[in-house]
Structure 1
């Protein structure tokens, strides 16, 4: 197996492991991994208690890299992030900071409640995100940061936060897990709390992540030579602009790097239209209200609608669950016929989905429900034949 194939296999296993622990967070995990292997910072916007911190902690436990976490408040001082001034060195006339265990030595960083940061911290973060450096008296100190994650309960509409928010290439908006997944959420949540984090397998180290980042950059550089990809991208941007969503010049470029990263996450040989669509969904929305506009624009230009297909699969699963219970409780001909129709429809949809990695977990859940539906139909048919 070639080195690149080994890395992609490790990335694939990391994604599976994260999805095994998190419920209903496939899109968020993809955003997390896209940020990691592209080096583009990501921000997660959602209500409290929706798993933002847990997801990044899980990732950090599965990668051999120095991790830094900090919960920001309006009273947080820059020294708490980048390290205090070294008093002993200052007495000798030298200005330096003690950075051990702080952000300047981190390879993966997560800043919670990012919009509570003071103006001094925001200015430092702009330099860190843009140039991977911090000022340390005599000059700038390069930092080994692979990527930076941030979280907030809502998007700040303050003008002073706009520059910092714009630097987060990847923006993910999500809410609580749906009712149909509560049981699985509780089961996995309890197992996660009980399992020793130190025993989790390490899937990648920091050097391997840097190799993946180099591969992502190389593939992104090839994108302009793909006319069909670029034409579709320009078409999508024009459609979004008509809806009031216009990407900055920087974001237009960064989106291609995110698309490249997503193409590696899904083991593609080049950036596909699916990966381009997924990237646009993560980079184009400014607020949660923009999500629908972006999705509609992508549908108009013919880019695959991931969200639409997920809703379709989950709706069919819910319909099957309901019809199975109805047919078992009241085996009337109308209930049996309705169940048979939805089973047949589900089979056709599953055939269209095929081996699409993006939809695999949803398709598997629907397939399980289809098998139960078939068993119920066979049983009811047998009982009907016996009574006849």
Structure 2
């Protein structure tokens, strides 16, 4: 919800600004954005650049802006490659030349204008460029030996194309607000055809803003706070612009803050809102297609710009989940009730013995004893003298037998005479009987169990998770209030167009779902840490 100003602008001034905006929009089709931007630029002491083809009402925006101020003079000029300084800044004074003074007669020219429209501004040549830059930035004009202050409120520049050449980069940067103006859309075309004659914006002299009014707005804007969530958003946006190759100067970022302060002030607030940042899309692009990219970034980020935004919260939760998994996966050697280390015997059971007996292996294969009635050759070929081939050393001189080696021996089977080991009916039973395994002494592995965590560690983790959960709940409460007031905030906003309400609502709802998911993950984390085994308290 909008917060009241600690030191409000006079109510009549606030209402006049809103009435001026509405009056300036009278009879225009799909020129809502450039008109709003033009008036805001003037209030903030900035300039507006309109890029687009001829016949798209660019000059009309400037002429209407001039009507918002009194007293105010207006200057308009189309620049070409051959434009000379005299056309912009006035002719040289003949009398001054006679007196060895190089001065211009600036009356009715740009140095005396309050509002100016410079068409095809990027055709400005080097002869006028430096003077134009000083006038736009410092509101001063070097007239001979004197540097004169000018009454300039704002310049609306226009061009059919973007500037080419490094010498124009500084001029391009002087226009904080930039807007691409295209032909009326298919949906708006019938309304355009319904217009009859020249539609004139009419409003009383009392409605117009004076120099004192402007000074009051600009002075009050400096006291408008820029909260942490907006600073966080601007910092993230700066990083994103760098990654996208969108160059934005430090001076430009400072001017953006001043613009946001003015937007908040004129909407009756003493701090910048996240919705004021809708204007950023018109401040950062160097090429028109970049505006949509900035808008999409902002739309996805709107409502999630606090220092505890979901993306940052997600990283925090992921780190906590990794910490919990590390604690859950941690294993330590178990001890018995007397504190003796436990080892895992061949049956997998705990024992205090460090060593034991296990089936020997060779090359990874288990080893066995030879059967009692095993013969090296088919006893049938020896008649009654088969005992000469009987295996007498079941251990194979302590080396044991692999299964493959046993397959070559013959076994006496009372029911079937003699069979080779691999065809012996009792083969599987023989191999699984541990009495027939060739055993060896081994060191038993430690008997491991989940590590018992120190109580202080678990309690500290639970405390931090509880605090984090409370912060997220507070953030969710603020987010829900933000959602509830969204429609009213945007539709009452002087500078944000109504069509942003729907995508902003979608973005906030997505953020709410994300926060709910994070709260669920935090609860699982809390439960996970509570279930960790703890060390027993010292007796």
Tell me the TM-score range normalised by the shorter chain: 0.7 to 0.9
Give me the TM-score of the superposition, normalised by structure 1: 0.73
2:44 equivalent to 1:38: yes
Q: Which residue of 2 aligns with 1:294?
A: 294
Which structure has the larger Rg? 2
Aligned pair in 2 of structure 1 residues 239, 94: CA closer, same or farther (>3 Å)?
Answer: closer
Mapping for residues 1-388 of structure 1, pairs under 5 Å: 4-64=10-70, 65-188=72-195, 190-191=196-197, 193=198, 195=200, 200-202=203-205, 203-219=208-224, 222-223=225-226, 226-278=227-279, 280-302=280-302, 353-354=487-488, 356-357=490-491, 358=493
Distance 1:360 1:173 in 2: 16
Contact 2:9–2:217 under 8 Å retained in 1: no
Change (3 A) 1:360 1:109: closer
| Larger CA deviation: 103-112 vs 266-275 | 266-275
Alpha-carbon offset, residue 354 of structure 1:
4.0
Q: Give the secondary structure class of the aligned counterpart of 1:285.
A: coil
Judged with a 3 Å threshold, the aligned counterparts in structure 2 of structure 1 residues 194 and 173 are, in CA distance, closer, same or farther, namely closer
Partner of 1:377: none
4+ residue segments displaced more than 6 Å: 349-352
Q: Which of the pair is proportionally richer in helix?
A: 1
Counterpart CA distance in 1 for 2:247 and 2:154 is: 25
Give the direction of change, closer, same or farther, for the CA distance of 1:256–1:3 in structure 2 (3 Å limit): closer
Residue pair 1:169, 1:254 contacting (<8 A) in 2 also: yes
Do 1:72 and 1:111's aligned partners in 2 also have CA atoms closer than 8 Å? Answer: yes
CA contact (8 A) 1:281 1:295 kept: yes
Q: Is the 1:30–1:265 contact (alpha carbons within 8 Å) kept by the matching residues of 2?
A: no
Aligned residue number for residue 376 of structure 1: none
How much has 1:93 moved relative to structure 2?
A: 2.7
Alpha-carbon contact 1:7-1:212 (below 8 Å) kept: no
Equivalent in the alignment of 1:331? none
Paired with 1:300 and 1:161, the residues of 2 have a C-alpha distance of: 33
**Distance in 2 between residues matched to 1:363 and 1:104, nearest whole Å:** 39
The answer to whether the 8 A contact 1:37-1:216 is kept is no
CA RMSD of aligned residues (A): 2.7
Q: Of the two structures, which has the highest relative contact order with CA contacts closer than 8 Å and spacing of 6 or more?
A: 1
> In structure 2, do the counterparts of structure 1 residues 243 and 362 end up closer, same or farther at CA, with 3 Å as the change threshold?
closer
- SS at 1:356 equivalent: helix
**Partners of 1:248 and 1:362 in 2: CA distance:** 30
Q: TM-score, normalised by structure 2?
A: 0.54
Offset at 1:363?
Answer: 9.9
Equivalent residue of 1:218, what SS? Answer: coil
Cα distance change of structure 1 residues 66 and 207 upon mapping to structure 2, 3 Å threshold: farther
Kindly indicate whether the alpha-carbon contact (under 8 Å) linking 1:78 and 1:121 is maintained by their aligned counterparts in 2. yes
Shift of 1:33: 1.3
Q: Contact 2:116–2:154 at 8 Å: present in 1 too?
A: yes
